[in-house]
Amino acid sequence: MALTIESLMSKMSGAFVPEKSPGLVAVIQFKFTGEEAGDWYADIKDGAVDVQKGVHASPKMTLTADSADYLKIFTGELDGMKAFMEGKLKLTGDLNLAMKLTQMFKIR
């Protein structure tokens, strides 16, 4: 089965590594464009994450990317830093949170 934004986001809670986010309280908004356009957010608090479809009123950081590019970043086909430098990945808000993102979720 091909990885989709829907399946990826539904697996985020299970991929969360609470030890990598002690005391963190933050909401990360995901804005996807392209083929699988849509809005999702991850609400991190109390050592857990709650992922929902939709727009959060006050995210600490917003990540915007084409859905196909984000899937490539997630699977390692596209380097996240390179995507950011090329404008394929846009971040607003707390950029330190973006650096922690890859550590907070175990990929595969």
Per-residue pLDDT band at 99 (split at 50, 70, 90)? confident
12 close to 51: Cβ distance less than 8 angstroms: yes
Domain boundaries, the chain: 5-101
Q: What is the CA 42 to chain-centroid distance, rounded? A: 7
Q: Which of 48, 46, 13, 43 is nearest to 30 (CA)?
A: 43
Enter the DSSP assignment of 59.
Answer: -
- We find that the CATH architecture of domain 5-101 is 2-Layer Sandwich (3.30)
Query: Has residue 7 got a pLDDT over 70?
Result: yes
Give the tens place of pLDDT for each residue, 19-64: 998 999 999 999 999 999 999 999 999 899 999 999 999 999 999 9
Helix axes 5-15, 67-75, angle to 10 degrees: 40
